[in-house]
Amino acid sequence: DTEVTQTPKHLVMGMTNKKSLKCEQHMGHRAMYWYKQKAKKPPELMFVYSYEKLSINESVPSRFSPECPNSSLLNLHLHALQPEDSALYLCASSQDFGLAGAFVSSYNEQFFGPGTRLTVL
Amino acid sequence: ILNVEQSPQSLHVQEGDSTNFTCSFPSSNFYALHWYRWETAKSPEALFVMTLNGDEKKKGRISATLNTKEGYSYLYIKGSQPEDSATYLCARPNAGNNRKLIWGLGTSLAVNP
């Protein structure tokens, strides 16, 4: 199974709502990523988890809260979002070699999910 | 070059044409160079991860070369087909934390039947 799945495909939420995006992979990858993508631009990294621990937080506002409950699952909890947060949110995973292997991890391709199209009203 | 740069920004070719585009990157602290294809309404898909100077990789009609000393990679598509229409992105791992990719803005390829 070389697939990364994401749910939901589309999400419309108000600025006072709380919602969650979900991502799942069963490739045994130990690095998982959240990206935000706006039209005509490359993916913008938000968070990276390595072995279920947060490795990178790209100074993302606290209204986005990531969670990695186990090696196959990655969640992004959303609360009090703004209309400018409307975007395509992509999840990705890759092989990873932990703290000792961050250098080698750079050789590994990332597998992307289909994304969640988020609209904040 | 401080970041990853891609050229051209967009390209229109006829079916059957061969084409190529460029990814330029800082030659210092080189670890790897990734190429991805992103078709509209689909997920980005990895094409190649290149690590060695002089590397040449091939997948079907698509191939890529790497020059780490001068900091560039070429992606070639031989005999373009309409299904090759996509945005082609290259990325290099960040020197500070290799799990972060520094992305180019992509080359948008449209192949007309």
Task: Mean pLDDT check: name the lowest of B5-14, B26-35, B79-88.
Answer: B26-35
In the predicted model, is pLDDT for residue A101 greater than 80? no
What are B12's two structure tokens? 């229109």
Query: What was the pLDDT predicted at A96?
Result: 83
- Cα angle for residues B86, B35, A46 (degrees, 5° grid): 90
Portion 32-91 of A in contact with B at CB < 8 A: 33, 41-43, 45, 48, 50, 55-56, 58, 90
Residues 6+ apart with CB under 8 A from A91: A4, A6, A21, A23, A32, A33, A34, A35, A74, A112, A113, A115
Band (A40; pLDDT cuts 50, 70, 90) = confident
- Where on the phi/psi map is residue B71: left (φ > 0), alpha (ψ -120 to 50), or beta? left
In the predicted model, is pLDDT for residue A99 greater than 80? no
In the predicted model, is pLDDT for residue A103 greater than 70? no
**pLDDT tens digits, B49-106:** 999 999 999 999 999 999 999 999 999 999 999 999 999 999 998 877 778 899 999 9
Among B34, B55, B11, B21, CA closest to B98: B34
CB contact under 8 A, B106 and A48: no
Query: Which of A58, A108, A112 lies closest to B44 in CB terms?
Result: A112
Query: Which of A109, A114, A115 lies closest to B49 in CB terms?
Result: A109
How many CA atoms within 13 Å lie on the side-chain side of B46? 21
**pLDDT tens digits, A49-62:** 999 999 999 999 99
Mean pLDDT for A79-106 is: 84
Portion 88-107 of B in contact with A at CB < 8 A: 89, 91, 93, 97-101, 103-106
Query: What was the pLDDT predicted at A90?
Result: 97
Residues 6+ apart with CB under 8 A from A17: A78, A79, A81
